[in-house]
């Protein structure tokens, strides 16, 4: 089945650590996105990528980094510079012809 | 930046009743989309309405768009307990590469 997979489902980070969230899709979609969701604030765009080896900052990119070395993969690193990383992180993808996004099931990151 | 604001923030109804939620946005758009999110899960694309359309239907869903008022509504008819979820509107106001901006969502509870 085609889809978009995020892992892990739950992630705990200690203060000062970098952590990487995985996002893999087998839909052959060109565009991929990372959103952050906090309670009562909807989704906010962190980074997005139109094609391989290209990515752009979204509205809240500070403290995050991404790479797009393969079409299927768009990992997100939450660095120690992100002061309030506890949130629900959602990855999405879209192909060129359809306007709707396909979302993964999310990763819940908690700082301990 | 939050483009869309949903109203109400929360809605509680009985099975069989209709549920209406509204979305207001700030700038001119290319299209507006509605998504559904079950608790702790990713978002699922429900329906898209383009800026030159006024109404669309999909099963028990009816979406309207009023570009003069910069508002949209989502009507779910004959609601079921399984419709319990959060519903988000998302707008595409980008020139060129699509980037959706999501609203804050409406939490719908449908009681049996």
Cα–Cα distance between B38 and A67 in angstroms, integer?
Answer: 29
Q: Is A58 on the interface with B (CB under 8 A)?
A: yes
The answer, yes or no, to whether residue B68 has pLDDT greater than 60, is yes
Distance from CA of B79 to the nearest CA of A (A): 23
The answer, yes or no, to whether residue A47 has pLDDT greater than 60, is yes
pLDDT score for A57: 96
Q: Is B25 on the interface with A (CB under 8 A)?
A: no
pLDDT score for A42: 87
pLDDT score for B3: 64
Q: What are the tens digits of pLDDT across the range B46-59? A: 999 999 999 999 99
Residue where the block lists tokens 């906010």: A44
pLDDT score for B2: 52
With a pLDDT cut of 70, the percent of chain B lying above it is: 96
Q: What are the tens digits of pLDDT across the range A86-111? A: 999 999 999 888 789 999 999 999 99
- For A27, counting Cβ atoms within 10 Å of its Cβ (0-12 exposed, 13-18 middle, 19+ buried), the class is middle
Q: What are the tens digits of pLDDT across the range B69-78? A: 999 999 999 9
The answer, yes or no, to whether residue A74 has pLDDT greater than 90, is yes
Q: Residue B100: which of A40, A88, A101 has the nearest Cβ?
A: A101
Phi, psi of B21 (to 5 degrees): -130, 150
Q: Is A94 on the interface with B (CB under 8 A)?
A: yes
């Amino acid at each position: 089945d085609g889809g978009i997979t995020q892992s892990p489902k739950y992630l705990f980070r200690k203060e000062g650590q970098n952590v990487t969230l995985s996002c893999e899709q087998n839909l052959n979609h060109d565009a991929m996105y990372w959103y952050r969701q906090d309670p009562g604030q909807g989704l906010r765009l962190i980074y997005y990528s139109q094609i391989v080896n290209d990515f752009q900052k979204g509205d809240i990119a500070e403290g995050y980094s991404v790479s797009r070395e393969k079409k299927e993969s768009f990992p997100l690193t939450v660095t120690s510079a992100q002061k309030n990383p506890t949130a629900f992180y959602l990855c999405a993808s879209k192909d060129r012809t359809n306007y709707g996004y396909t979302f993964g099931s999310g990763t819940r990151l908690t700082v301990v | 930046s939050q483009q869309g604001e949903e109203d109400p923030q929360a809605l509680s109804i009985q099975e069989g009743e209709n549920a209406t939620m509204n979305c207001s946005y700030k700038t001119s758009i290319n299209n507006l989309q509605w998504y559904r999110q079950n608790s702790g899960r990713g978002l699922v694309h429900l329906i898209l309405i383009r800026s030159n359309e006024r109404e669309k239907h999909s099963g028990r869903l009816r979406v309207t768009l009023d570009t003069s008022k910069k508002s949209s509504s989502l009507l779910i008819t004959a609601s079921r307990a399984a419709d319990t979820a959060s519903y988000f509107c998302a707008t595409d106001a980008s020139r060129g590469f699509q980037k959706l901006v999501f609203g804050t969502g409406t939490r719908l509870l449908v009681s049996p």
